[in-house]
Amino acid sequence: MTRLSEILDQMTTVLNDLKTVMDAEQQQLSVGQINGSQLQRITERKKLVAGDAGLSGTTAPSGAECAA
């Protein structure tokens, strides 16, 4: 049970880090102050956060999977 608690704590940390990155992305997109290179850096940061969580090989569900 201790291991589960540790894993959940780690997942919470990673998700909070990802939220921070995504909030920054949304803020920059909302004010229109983002260019291609800035968007690429944000994407890379999201990949790093996902990689730290061991999620680098995962993919988002397709539209068909979401509709099912």
| Alpha carbons 47 and 5: distance in angstroms, whole number | 24
pLDDT in tens, 51-60: 776 765 544 4
Does residue 68 lie within any of the structural domains?
Answer: no
Question: Is 52 within 8 Å of 14 (Cβ atoms)?
Answer: yes
Structure pTM? 0.55
Torsion of CA 48, 53, 58, 60, to 10 degrees: -80
pLDDT block averages, 10 residues each, the chain of length 68: 92 91 84 78 82 59 40
Q: Which distant-in-sequence residues (6+ apart) come within 8 Å of 18 by Cβ?
A: 46, 49, 50
Q: Give the count of domains, the chain.
A: 1
Is position 29 within any domain? yes
Q: Which domain holds residue 42?
A: 2-49
